[in-house]
Amino acid sequence: MRIGILNVTGYAGLELIRLLAWHPEMQIVAITGRSQAGKSLGEVFPFTGLFPNGGLAAMTITEDITTEVDLVFSGLPHKASAEALLPFIEDGIPVVDIAADFRLHDPETYQEWYQEHPCPEYLESAVFGLTELHREEVQQAKIVANPGCYPTGAILGLAPALAERLIPPAVIVDAKSGISGGGRSLTLTNHYSEVNESVEAYALQGHRHMPEIVQELSEVADTDVQVTFVPHLIPMTRGILATCYATLARSVTQQEVDDLYHARYADEPFVQVLAVSPKTKWTYGSNHCLIHPVVHERTGHLIVTTAIDNLVKGASGQALQNANVMLGLPETMGLEAKPLFP
Amino acid sequence: MRIGILNVTGYAGLELIRLLAWHPEMQIVAITGRSQAGKSLGEVFPFTGLFPNGGLAAMTITEDITTEVDLVFSGLPHKASAEALLPFIEDGIPVVDIAADFRLHDPETYQEWYQEHPCPEYLESAVFGLTELHREEVQQAKIVANPGCYPTGAILGLAPALAERLIPPAVIVDAKSGISGGGRSLTLTNHYSEVNESVEAYALQGHRHMPEIVQELSEVADTDVQVTFVPHLIPMTRGILATCYATLARSVTQQEVDDLYHARYADEPFVQVLAVSPKTKWTYGSNHCLIHPVVHERTGHLIVTTAIDNLVKGASGQALQNANVMLGLPETMGLEAKPLFP
Amino acid sequence: MRIGILNVTGYAGLELIRLLAWHPEMQIVAITGRSQAGKSLGEVFPFTGLFPNGGLAAMTITEDITTEVDLVFSGLPHKASAEALLPFIEDGIPVVDIAADFRLHDPETYQEWYQEHPCPEYLESAVFGLTELHREEVQQAKIVANPGCYPTGAILGLAPALAERLIPPAVIVDAKSGISGGGRSLTLTNHYSEVNESVEAYALQGHRHMPEIVQELSEVADTDVQVTFVPHLIPMTRGILATCYATLARSVTQQEVDDLYHARYADEPFVQVLAVSPKTKWTYGSNHCLIHPVVHERTGHLIVTTAIDNLVKGASGQALQNANVMLGLPETMGLEAKPLFP
Amino acid sequence: MRIGILNVTGYAGLELIRLLAWHPEMQIVAITGRSQAGKSLGEVFPFTGLFPNGGLAAMTITEDITTEVDLVFSGLPHKASAEALLPFIEDGIPVVDIAADFRLHDPETYQEWYQEHPCPEYLESAVFGLTELHREEVQQAKIVANPGCYPTGAILGLAPALAERLIPPAVIVDAKSGISGGGRSLTLTNHYSEVNESVEAYALQGHRHMPEIVQELSEVADTDVQVTFVPHLIPMTRGILATCYATLARSVTQQEVDDLYHARYADEPFVQVLAVSPKTKWTYGSNHCLIHPVVHERTGHLIVTTAIDNLVKGASGQALQNANVMLGLPETMGLEAKPLFP
C-alpha cells in the first residue's frame, strides 16, 4: 500500500516514519514538510539513515503530495490539516488526521475551541478513532480523526466504569504529560531550561482536549458527563499518566472492578489492565495503554490511573492502528515495538 | 544560639546545614550521623568546604550530641527520631522534629500509619509546625512537629476556602513530588534509571501524610474533612506541586476568591498568592509556598495549585522558620535565599 | 533455538528479553535470577505482559538453568558470570558473556583489574566479541566475550585511523555515559537526586575498561597503544558519547579521512559514518554505532565522536549480534529496532 | 550604589537580579529589555515577587537606561552589548560586559570569530575579568570584559600548571555544559525533547570561546599555547565540567601537583582545590570553581577537572565579583550563596 505523510518534520510525522519502517504492507511514497521542503529526510534527521530501505533517508520532502497514494496520514496542525486533507477526502482516499479537525462532531463546539471549521460538511462521516471504542466504524470510515493524546488515556480509563454506571457522570482527570506533547515548534514551554526540574499545571480554565473527553464519555455513559480536566507539564520527553477520580455510585469491591475492567479489555491487543499502578516508562515507545483501577474504600472513590506513550498510543501508533483497521490489515501490524525499559 | 542536628547525612539534615550557614544567630555545634560517625562533614560532602566558617567542613560527625545545645533539629526517620529526641525533651530543650513522630495528636492514628508511639505522653504538648496556621502555639512550644512535605502545600492551599466554608469538607489532592522526597537511602524508587523519564502514582490506598492533612484541615473547617490524596513521583530532584480539587459550595467569582486568599496570606512572609499557576521551579531552593486558586466555572469546582520546594518549605526551611519563632528571632532569619531560576 | 539467560533481573538481561521478543529463531526457555528466583518475570517487570507469546511474563525465574539450551547469555557480574557459565562451556554449549570475564586474553591483566580468574584455561579460546573486528572468529567461537560498553564506541571510532597509521599509538578517550551503565544495583552513583542535574568524571586513575581498549587497539595498530581514558556520568538513562583525540601523524584532508572511514565500515550493518557529530539520542534503543571523524586543522588533531546506546550496541544488542553470528543466523535478526527520537 | 542592568530578560540578567537581591551596597535602579519593555519585572518573572524590596517585581523594564547609575552590567548579546555600553563608557561610568565584546585584545581575532568590532579603540583599556588572574587590573578598570563560561573553568584549571611549565603549551579541553549556556532564546538546541536524554559534541572545528582560552593561557605561559577545545551539551540546566588533558613536561608526584595548586589558590575565596573529582552539582547556584588535578602515571598526563555553575562563576556571579572589585567593595559581597545539593 502506498502511503503519504503530511508534515513529516513534526514529531507525529517523524514517529510515523519510525513505525512504518517496520510495516510489511505499507510503503511511504510521499512526505511533505513546509520550511524543510526540498531537503532529503536524511538531511533533516540524520539518524534516518539507520532505517532499512535506505531509500527513506534519501527521499525528498516536498510541499505537497503529488504521487498516487492509498492512504494519507496528516501530522499537520489543526486547520492546516483539514485544508490539506480536503483534496484527498474529495477523491475518496482514506485519511487519518492526527490533528483535531475531525474529532468533534459538533461544528459549533469545534469553533468554540479552535476556529471556524474549514469543511464542516465532512464532520458527520468522520469517525473518532479511539479504536477500542469505534472499531467497526473505523473499518468503514474514509476519514478517521485520531484522538488527542490526553483523551486517549482518560477515555480508556473511565469508559468501563461509566458504561456500567459504576460512577455518576462527573469525573476529574488530572493528567501529566511529557514535553514532546507540545511538538517540535519553538516556545518557552518546551525550552529546556524553563521546564526542566519543574512541574506546572496549565490551561486551568479549559484545555482543547476537554470537549473530546466529554463527547466520548457522554456517548459511553449515554448522558452528559461533566469533566474537570487539568493537564500538567512534566520534565520528561514522552508519556502521559492520567489520574482519574470519580465518586462510586454504589458499593463495589476491588475484585468486581478488576473483573469489569479485565472483561472489557480482554480482547484488546493494546490495552492491559494491571494489578499495580503503571509507570509511564512501561509504555515508552510502545502502543499500549496500561490501566489500573482502584476502589478507594476510605472515601468511596474510584481512582483509575492510565499510562501511554503520548507519541505512540497518544498519536502516531494509534494512527497506524486505525489505518490498519481501515485497510483491512491486522490491527497490530507494524506496532510490535516493546517498551524501552529502563 | 548553639544548635545540634541529628542525622546530618540525610537530605533534611544536609539542607539545614546549607540554611544555617547563612544564619547570623545560630551556630551549629553538634552534628550526628549513623554509618558516617567519626568522619568529618567535609569527607562526606566535599562541597561543604565552600561554606564560610570553614569550621563546618572540619566538624566531626558523632553518634550522639554530647555538647550543650539550645535547640535540636532532628532529621532522623520516624521512631528513631522520637527516641533520639526524648532526652532533650525531658531536659526541656526545644526540639524541632522533621520526622513524623509528633505530628498526629492521636496516638492511635499514629499507630495505624506508623507503629506504636515510643512516647505518647508528649503528643499533647507538641505543636504541628505549619507556622502559618499555628504561629502563636509554636512561640510557646518546646516540641514542634515539622509538617510532612505533602501536607504543607495541600493545607496552605485549601485552608482559606475551608475556613470560609467556600467548599464542603471533601477534597481531592493530586500531588506531584520530586525524587528527593524519598530521601538519601538506596531504593529502586530513587534509582535514576528506574524513575527518570517516567511518572507514576503510588500509595493509592493511602499515604502516611494523609492523616496529617485530615487533622489540620478538619481543625480549620471545624468538621471532619474527607481527603482523597494521591502522591506521584516526578523525574526532578526538588519540588512539589499540589493540584487540589473541591466542589464550590456556593456561587463565587474569581475576584472574590482572589480577595479571600490575598487577605488570608497578606502578612505571611513565605506565602504568595499568584495570578498565574506556579511552576515548582519558581520556589527552587527558597522557603516560599506559591498559591493559585481558580474558580472553574464550567464545572463549579475550586481548583487550587500550590508549589513548594519539598526540602525547604517542605522540610528544613520550615523547620528553621519554626525554630526562629520558638527562639524569639525574626521568622525569616537565614531564609532569605531566592529561588534559583532557571 | 532454545536460549537461556543468566540474571534476567539486571539491565543487560532485561534488555535481552526485549530484543529476543522480536527474534524469529530464538526462544527463551530459561531465565535465572538471584534474589527474585521463584517469582514470575511478570511479577518483577509488570510491563513484560505486553510482550507477545504472553508466556514470557508467566515464565518463572529460577536459580539455575536446568533445561536443555542451545546457547546461554550471561548478564551476571564478573566472576559470578564465569563461574555460572563454566558448566555450559565444559558441555560445549555456546555462551555469550556480557560480563568482563573472558575479554582480556592475559590472565595477569585480568587479575590486576578484577581478581584471580576462575578458569584462565578458557581465555585463549574466547573471542572478543566486537563483531566488526572479529566476525570470522566469532563464527567459530564457543565462548564470546561481549565487549564493555565504553570500549565498543572507542575502538570502533579509533580503529580505522590506527590501522592506517594515520595517528600514532597514543590516544585520549573522553567518554560520557548514561546512568544505566551502572546497572540496577543500588548505589549513590545511581541515586536520582545525587546524579540528576550534575556531571562528574570518575575513575581518573584508571577504569577497568581501559585494558580492553588497549588490547584491541594494540592488535589493530600492531603495536602497543597508549590509552588515556576518562569516563563521565551524565544525567540520562541510556547512551555513550566517546570523544576521541589523537595527533595526526601526517597531513590529511577531511575528505581522505571520510573516505577511509566510509570504506572501512561500508558493509557493516550496525556502523554508520555521519557527516555531522551524532547525538546519543539518535541511537536510543537501536544497535547502531554512529561515527563522525574530524580533521582539526588548527591543531593537527584527529577528533572522532562516536555514539551508541550502552544497553544495546554497548551490551545486549551486541550480544545478540554475536549470538546470531555464532549460530549461523543473519547477523541483524531481531535487531531491527529503530532509534526512538525524540 | 546605583546599578543598571541591560537586558534583564535573558538568563545572565535574571541571575544578576537574584544575586543583587542579596547585595547590601548595590541597588538596582534601571533594568532594560527589548521585546518586554513596558512590562514590570513581576509580569515577566512572577517569582520575583518573592524577592525582598518588593519594589523589584514592580519595577518597569525599559528600553534604555535613562536614570543616573554608578555601574552598568550588560547581559546583551555580543555587538548589541558594545553598542549599548558605548555611551556609558564615553561618560566614564564603569561597565561589566557579560558578552564577548571586550574579551579579546586583538580586534582582528574578534573579527574572525564575531564580526567587525563596533568600537575597537576601547579594547586596549578593557580588562579580561577573570578576577583570579587580573585582580589588580580590574581594580583600576572602567571596562571589564567578563570571561565566557567555558574559558572560566578551563583557564583556572590549567593556569597553575602552565605558569610552572609543568606541561608544554599544548592542551586539550573537553567541556560539558548544561543547556542554560545557550540562553533563553528559542532554538532546537535548547528544545527540551531534542536535547533531553542525549549528549552531543558541537563546534568541533572551533568555538568562539577558544581564542579567549588561547589569549589567557598564552599570557600565563608566556608563549603561544595550542588549545584543542570541544564543547558538549549535557541534559541539565546548569553547570560546566571541563576535563583538561596535557602531557607532563617532567616527572612529578601527585603531592607536588596538589601543593602547587593549593598554593596558587590558597587566598582565593571562590576557588577550591579538592582531593576528589568535583560534581558540577557541588557548585549549583554558587560562585565557586572546584578544581581537581590528577597525575596520570600510566600515561604521563596531567588531567585536571574543574566544575562551575555556568550562570554564576561562568557569568553573573563573576560579573558581580568584578563589580565589587571595581567599586572597592569586599569581593565576596552578595556572593555568599551556597551550592544547592541535592
CA distance B337 to chain A (A): 18
pLDDT at D50 over 80: no
Could you say which DSSP state residue C12 is in? H
Contact A338 C50 (CB under 8 A): yes
Residues of chain C with Cβ-Cβ distance to A49 below 8 Å are 272, 274
Joined grid coordinates for residue D44: 515577566
Mutate to test the interface with A, among D15, D190, D193, D200 (most CBs of A within 10 A): D193
The interface predicted TM-score (ipTM) is 0.96
What is the predicted pLDDT for the residue at A99? 97
Joined grid coordinates for residue D209: 570561546
CB A320 within 8 A of CB A18: no
C109 touches chain D (CB under 8 A): no
Residues of chain A with Cβ-Cβ distance to D233 below 8 Å are none
Joined grid coordinates for residue A72: 494519507
pLDDT at C53 over 70: no
CA distance D308 to chain A (A): 17
Beta strands in chain B (DSSP E): 2-6, 27-32, 61-62, 71-74, 95-97, 127-128, 143-145, 170-177, 200-201, 226-233, 240-247, 271-273, 289-296, 301-308
D251 touches chain A (CB under 8 A): no
- Which pLDDT tens digit goes with each residue over A104-119? 999 999 999 999 999 9
Joined grid coordinates for residue D116: 567587525
Average pLDDT of the residues in C211-220:
98
Average pLDDT of the residues in A15-33:
94
What is the predicted pLDDT for the residue at D21? 86
CA distance A342 to chain B (A): 6
pLDDT at C33 over 80: yes
Contact A204 B305 (CB under 8 A): yes
DSSP string, A237-270: SS-EEEEEEEE-SS---HHHHHHHHHHHHTT-TT
Alpha helices in chain C (DSSP H): 11-20, 41-44, 55-58, 80-90, 107-113, 131-140, 149-163, 192-195, 210-221, 254-265, 317-326
Q: Give the strand order in the sheet containing B289-296.
A: B200-201, B226-233, B170-177, B240-247, B301-308, B289-296, B271-273
Chain B residue with minimum CA distance to C311: B193
D284 touches chain B (CB under 8 A): yes
- Which partners does chain B have (≥3 C-beta pairs < 8 Å)? A, C, D
Residues of chain A with Cβ-Cβ distance to D197 below 8 Å are 237
C46 touches chain A (CB under 8 A): yes
Joined grid coordinates for residue B102: 509528633
Predicted confidence band of residue B338 (pLDDT cuts 50, 70, 90): confident
Average pLDDT of the residues in B274-279:
96
Known active-site residue B149: yes
Chain A residue with minimum CA distance to C279: A47
Question: Under DSSP, is residue B194 helix (H, G, I), strand (E, B) or coil?
Answer: helix
Give residue for cell 591543531. Answer: C299
Contact A197 B238 (CB under 8 A): yes
CA distance C193 to chain B (A): 5
151-190 in chain C: CB under 8 A from chain A = 180, 184
User: Which of B272 and C55 is assigned the larger pLDDT?
Assistant: B272
- Reported as type and span, the H/E element at residue B151 is helix B149-163
Residues of chain B with Cβ-Cβ distance to D284 below 8 Å are 340
CA distance C326 to chain D (A): 33
CA B172-B177-B180 angle, 5° bins: 150
CB C327 within 8 A of CB C71: yes
Contact A228 B303 (CB under 8 A): yes
| pLDDT > 70: percent of chain A | 99
- Which pLDDT tens digit goes with each residue over A72-108? 999 999 999 999 999 999 999 999 999 999 999 999 9
Q: Which of C201, C236, C296 sits opposite D241 (nearest CB)?
A: C201
Chain B residue with minimum CA distance to C192: B192
Cβ neighbours around C24 below 10 Å, total = 9
Catalytic residue among B119, B149, B244, B289: B149
Establish how many alpha carbons lie within 13 A of residue B195's alpha carbon, considering only the half-sphere containing its beta carbon.
Answer: 26
Under 8 Å CB pairs connecting chains B and D tally to 80
Question: Under DSSP, is residue D70 helix (H, G, I), strand (E, B) or coil?
Answer: coil
What is the predicted pLDDT for the residue at D307? 98
Q: Which of B170, B226, B277 sits opposite A200 (nearest CB)?
A: B277
C34 touches chain B (CB under 8 A): no
Q: Which of D11, D47, D196 sits opposite B339 (nearest CB)?
A: D47
- Which pLDDT tens digit goes with each residue over C146-197? 999 999 999 999 999 999 999 999 999 999 999 999 999 999 999 999 999 9
Chain D residue with minimum CA distance to C203: D277
pLDDT at C51 over 80: no
What is the predicted pLDDT for the residue at D52? 59
CA distance A305 to chain B (A): 8
What is the predicted pLDDT for the residue at D231? 98
- Which pLDDT tens digit goes with each residue over D256-308? 999 999 999 999 999 999 999 999 999 999 999 999 999 999 999 999 999 99
A58 touches chain B (CB under 8 A): no
d(CA C302, CA D175): 17
Predicted confidence band of residue B334 (pLDDT cuts 50, 70, 90): very high
Joined grid coordinates for residue A226: 461533566
Tell me which of A116-120, C257-261, D284-288, D333-337 is least confident: D333-337
What is the predicted pLDDT for the residue at C54? 57
- Which pLDDT tens digit goes with each residue over B252-273? 999 999 999 999 999 999 999 9
Could you say which DSSP state residue D283 is in? G
- Which partners does chain D have (≥3 C-beta pairs < 8 Å)? A, B, C
Chain D residue with minimum CA distance to B334: D337
- Which pLDDT tens digit goes with each residue over B33-74? 988 999 999 999 998 877 655 578 899 999 999 999 999 999
194-213 in chain B: CB under 8 A from chain C = 194-197
CB D67 within 8 A of CB D4: yes
Contact B230 A303 (CB under 8 A): yes
Could you say which DSSP state residue A312 is in? I
Give residue for cell 549599548. Answer: D84
Q: Which of B14, B49, B272 sits opposite D50 (nearest CB)?
A: B272
The separation between CA B70 and the C-alpha centre of its own chain, rounded to angstroms, equals 22
Report CA torsion sign: A100, A105, A107, A110. negative
- Which partners does chain A have (≥3 C-beta pairs < 8 Å)? B, C, D
d(CA C84, CA C61): 16
Contact A47 C340 (CB under 8 A): no
What is the predicted pLDDT for the residue at B47? 87
Contact D176 C172 (CB under 8 A): no
Average pLDDT of the residues in D304-323:
98
